[in-house]
Amino acid sequence: MKTFERYFLSANRWALILLLAAMAVIIFVNVALRYLTSQSIEWAEEVSRHMMIWLTFLGAGPVLRYGGHIAIENLQDALPRSLAVAIRAFVALLLFAFFGFMVWYGWLYMERTLFQLTAATQIPFAYIYAAMPVGGVLLLVHWALIVRGYVLERKFAADAHFDATASASL
C-alpha cells in the first residue's frame, strides 16, 4: 500500500508541476508577444484559466494530506482524547460525504455542459468541469490514505515530512 501511495502522490505532484509550468509558459509567451509585437495569442487567457481550475482541483488532495486547508482545532484541543477522536471521526465522515458529493455533482455538471463550447478554443465546457469529479476522486483517495492517522492522532503527512527534513538538516 505504501508503494501505491508513493506512486499516487508522485503522479499527482507531477500533474500539478506540468500544469503549472505549461500555464506559466503560455502566460509568459503571451505577455512577451503582446509587448514585443503588439500581437497576442487569442486563446492564452482562456486556456490558462482552465488550467488554473484543474490546478485547484488536482492540488486539493496533496494540500489535504499535509493539513494545509483551514481547520478549527480549538474544540478538539479542549476535549478529552476520546471525545476529540469522536469529533475527528465525524469530521472524516463529513469530508468523505462532501468529496462524494463533489464527484456526483461534478459529473452532473459535466453532463449539462457537454454541448456548450468555450469561446476561443471551441472545446466542450465539460472538459473543464471534469476537474471537479476528478479532483473529488483524488480527494477521496488522498483522504482514505491518511484518515486513520488523522482520526486517531490528528496526524497529517506533513508531520512525518517535517520530522524527516528537520532531522536531516541537523
The ranges assigned to domains in the chain are 2-158
Count CA atoms within 13 Å of residue 124 on its CB side. 12
pLDDT score, position 70: 78
Could you list the mean pLDDT of each consecutive 10-residue stretch along the chain, which spans 170 residues? 93 97 98 96 97 98 90 86 96 97 97 96 97 98 96 79 48
pLDDT score, position 161: 52
pLDDT score, position 75: 86
pLDDT score, position 158: 62
Other Cβ atoms less than 10 A from the Cβ of 19: the count is 16
pLDDT score, position 169: 46
35 burial level (CB within 10 Å; 0-12, 13-18, 19+): exposed
* pTM above threshold 0.75: yes
